[in-house]
Amino acid sequence: MASGRVEPAYCRGSHTLVVSMAMFKQNRQRLCERLHKNNKVPKGAVILLQGGEADTRYCSDHEPLFRQESFFHWMFGVEEPDFYGAVEVDTGKTMLFAPKLPAEYAVWMGKLLTEDDFKVRYEVDEVYFIPERGLNTDSGKYSREAAFDGISEFKVNNEVLHPEISECRVFKSDMELEVLRYANRVSSEAHKEVMRNVKPGMYEYQMESMFHHYCYFQGGLRHLSYTCICGSGDNASVLHYGHAGAPNSKQLHDGDMCLLDMGGEYYCYASDITCSYPCNGKFTEKQKGIYNAVFKASRAVMAAVKPGVSWVDMHLLAERVQLEELAKLGLIQGDIEEMMKVRLGAVFMPHGLGHFMGIDTHDVGGYPEGTERINEAGLRSLRTSRTLEHRMVLTIEPGLYFINVLLDQALANPEQARFMCQEVIEQYRGFGGVRIEDDIAVTEDGMECLTVVPRTVEEIEQLMAEGEGHKVTLPQEAGKPSV
């Protein structure tokens, strides 16, 4: 086969994880059992899902690299665009409907797989080609037509599936956990590679480039889970830095703290990891203080996580620990519980403690029908307010940031300002921020941390020192070329 695959499994070379198609079969079984158990479907029901579609950028013929739609991936593991899939709920019998490409496409796309090829590749019961669609041979685009003629003869229920499949996705099977572990292990190693090589004078995007290269070259992770956030100095306080309007383009200055939120995905399963450290490899006392405050919050949450615990309580625990530590550092003063009441923690950590993670970085199922967001600062940013259960996978990502707009608001608000030591806080403006983000799986009686990177100040400084002497060479200034 063109992809070099020799058995019905996903793999990107002998150094990468082999994922059996049995994982998706098990996912389908879990969904069918759930639909039955909850009496959601009549006898003879069939689940029908449409996969992601190939697309072109704007009016051009540029095809962005295809990435499968997440529900479809969870059900079938199909890598190619323009598929449909169906599952008989009573029997689990699975059918794929593949696009029938014109024979001449073999010249451009490689050997066209037959129905039987796909049946073997994805280990399903039946595969049928969707009748050829009208192909515009200039643009290469298909004219859309009603797929599945005759669908009107079936009774279609568009509402039952979404909540049930979302709920299935919340709980990861052993096989899914193994894939998440792999994506996390590779991404953890990639973070370490960046730590070993970063130095002042580098540009933020060069850290992004090293990270992606390591993930892809070493681990076969072609896609990253999300756009890399590589903030240095004050940029580390911009929560979604790295986007097209702020494209990781600042140069690293000696003394800058860096906040690197980067994760790769393997076969659509995500990782989401943040490391924070000074680009010169040596924490100042001030940096150490803030870092250790966040680290203490992270580990307090990890010690408390287990089935039955409320995620909202975990958020509040992290806030409380961080406020205690900020008080010790002299940035705030007063009664911690009073601070909690006026949501002082959200001034320094405006985002939620963490979120579900799986095939999507922000995975589905955070607020099932009947649950609501808590409309208070910080808490309203939580992507779930659920009680933890075995097999949930989440990020734990406390952080402390010095965001001028939020500091100014708080200082202007007497309820909050009374706890704030303004003259000390002023010294932290421009500091940036610290976030420590790990991915964890809730176990039967606690949790497993999937992320394996240096976390204590000492561990980080030691790894960064190892890089000395064999760091990458920076590009030469090219005599300032310009147009």
Residues 59-98 that bind a second copy (CB under 8 A): 59-70, 79-81
| Cβ-based nearer residue to a second copy, 305 or 394 | 394
Question: Cβ closer to a second copy: 212 or 315?
Answer: 212
Find the DSSP H helices in 65-150: 70-76, 106-109, 115-122
Question: CB under 8 A: which stretch of 31-39, 210-218, 311-319, 442-450 binds a second copy?
Answer: 210-218
**CA neighbor of 435 nearest in space, from 294, 315, 321:** 294
Return the residue of 240, 286, 341, 471 that touches a second copy, per CB under 8 A: 240
- Cβ pair 89, 46 in contact under 8 A: yes
Among 92, 133, 142, 218, binds a second copy (CB under 8 A): 218
Instruction: Compute the distance between CA of residue 165 and CA of residue 334 in angstroms, rounded to an integer.
Output: 47
Taking the C-alpha atoms of residue 355 and residue 338, their distance in angstroms, rounded to an integer, is 27
Residue 206, H or E segment: helix 204-219
Closer to a second copy by CB, 60 or 152: give it: 60
Kindly tell me which residue out of 102, 132, 217, 448 binds a second copy, with binding defined by CB under 8 A. 217
Contact 131, 150 (CB under 8 A): no
Instruction: Give the N- to C-terminal CA distance of the chain in Å, as an integer.
Output: 47
Stretch that binds a second copy, among 4-12, 153-161, 279-287, 326-334 (CB under 8 A): 4-12
Q: Per CB under 8 A, which of residues 17..36 are in contact with a second copy?
A: 17-20, 23
Min dist. Cβ of residue 241 to a second copy (A): 6
Closest CA to 435 of 291, 304, 279, 335: 291
Please state, in angstroms and rounded to a whole number, the distance separating the CA atoms of residues 336 and 419. Answer: 9
In whole angstroms, how close is the CB of 420 to a second copy at the nearest point? 18
Question: Is 142 among the residues that bind a second copy (CB under 8 A)?
Answer: no
Convert residues 388-427 into a mask of x (bound to a second copy by CB under 8 A) and - (unbound): ---------------x-xx---------------------
Mapped onto helix, strand or coil, the DSSP state of residue 317 is helix
Angle at 256 between CA 253 and CA 258, to 5 degrees: 120
Smallest distance, Å, CB 238 to a second copy?
A: 4
Radius of gyration (Cα) for the chain, nearest Å?
25
Site string for a second copy, 300-329 (x = CB under 8 A): ------------------------------
Told to check if 476 binds a second copy by CB under 8 A, we report yes
Q: Taking contact as CB under 8 A, which single stretch among the options 244-252, 295-303, 336-344, 441-449 is the one that binds a second copy?
A: 244-252
Name the residue nearer to a second copy (CB basis): 105 or 128: 105
- Tokens 């014109």 — which residue? 102
Question: Applying CB under 8 A, does 136 fall inside the site for a second copy?
Answer: no
| Distance set, CA 292 to CA 284, 288, 331, 434, 461 (Å) | 12, 6, 14, 10, 14
Window 165-204: residues binding a second copy (CB under 8 A): 175, 178-179, 182, 203
Question: Do 324 and 345 contact (CB within 8 A), yes or no?
Answer: no
Q: Which residues of 443-459 are buried (b: 16+ CB within 10 A; e: fewer)?
A: eeeebeebbbbbbebee
Length in residues, the chain: 483
Among 362, 390, 418, 455, binds a second copy (CB under 8 A): 362
The single-letter DSSP state of residue 66 is P
Pick 80 or 461: Cβ nearer a second copy: 80
Q: In the complex with a second copy, which residue's Cβ is closer, 195 or 300?
A: 195
Is the CB of 264 or the CB of 305 nearer to a second copy? Answer: 264
Minimal distance, residue 311 CB to a second copy, in Å: 17
CA 215 – CA 221 distance, rounded (Å): 5
Strand segments, DSSP code E, in 245-404 are 257-262, 264-265, 273-278, 393-396, 399-401
| Closer Cβ to a second copy, 13 or 150, answer by number | 13
The pair of structure tokens assigned to 74 is 């969870």
The binder of a second copy chosen from 134, 152, 159, 245 (CB under 8 A): 245
Q: Rounded CA gap, 248 and 266, in Å?
A: 24
How far apart are CB 405 and a second copy at their closest, in Å?
A: 5
Which lies closer to a second copy via its Cβ, residue 232 or residue 287? 232
The count of residues interacting with a second copy (CB under 8 A) is: 92
Cα dihedral value 336, 337, 338, 343, nearest 10: 90
What is the CA 262 to chain-centroid distance, rounded? 9
Which CB atom, from 182 or from 311, has the smaller least distance to a second copy?
Answer: 182
Q: Does 107 bind a second copy (CB under 8 A)?
A: yes
Instruction: Please report how close the Cβ of residue 302 comes to a second copy at its closest, in angstroms.
Output: 25
370 binds a second copy (CB under 8 A): no
State the minimum distance, in angstroms, from the CB of residue 78 to a second copy.
10
| Cβ neighbours around 420 below 10 Å, total | 21
For a second copy, the closer CB: 264 or 336:
264
Measured from the CB atom, the residue of 304 and 411 that comes closer to a second copy is 411
